[in-house]
Chains A and B, each alone.
Chain A
Amino acid sequence: MSIIVNLDVVMAQRKIRSKDLAEQIGITEQNLSLLKTGKVRGIRFSTLEKICQTLGCQPGDILEYQKGNDQL
Chain B
Amino acid sequence: MSYVMKLSKTMARLCVIVSIALPVTVIMVWFSNFWEPQSQIATMLHLSEINMIQRFLGITASSLFPAVLVFGLLNLRWTFLEASHARYFSEKAVSSFRTFAWSVFFAIPTRIIEGAMVSVITSWHLGEGNRQLSIGIGTPELASLFLAFLFVAIAHIWAEGQKYAEDSEQII
User: Are A and B genuine complex partners?
Assistant: yes
What bracket does the count of chain B residues touching chain A fall in? Answer: under 10
**A2: interface (CB < 8 Å):** no
**B52: interface (CB < 8 Å):** no
A side interface size, CB within 8 A = 11
Return chain A residues, CB-CB under 8 Å to B167. 41
Q: Please, which residue of chain B has its CB at the minimum distance from the CB of A28?
A: B172
Return chain B residues, CB-CB under 8 Å to A31. 172
| Cα(A2)–Cα(B165), bound, Å | 25
Return chain B residues, CB-CB under 8 Å to A41. 167, 170-171
| Cα(A19)–Cα(B170), bound, Å | 20
Return chain B residues, CB-CB under 8 Å to A32. 172
What mask results when residues 26 to 51 of chain A are scored 1 for a CB within 8 Å of chain B, else 0? 01000110110000111110010000
| Beta-carbon contacts under 8 Å, B125-172 to A | 167, 170-172
Return chain B residues, CB-CB under 8 Å to A40. 170-172
A35, A41, A44, A47: which has the most chain B beta carbons within 10 Å? A41
A–B Cβ pairs within 8 angstroms, 14 of them: A31-B172, A32-B172, A35-B172, A40-B171, A41-B167, A41-B170, A41-B171, A42-B170, A42-B171, A43-B171, A43-B172, A44-B171, A44-B172, A47-B172
A-to-B contact residues, CB < 8 Å? 27, 31-32, 34-35, 40-44, 47
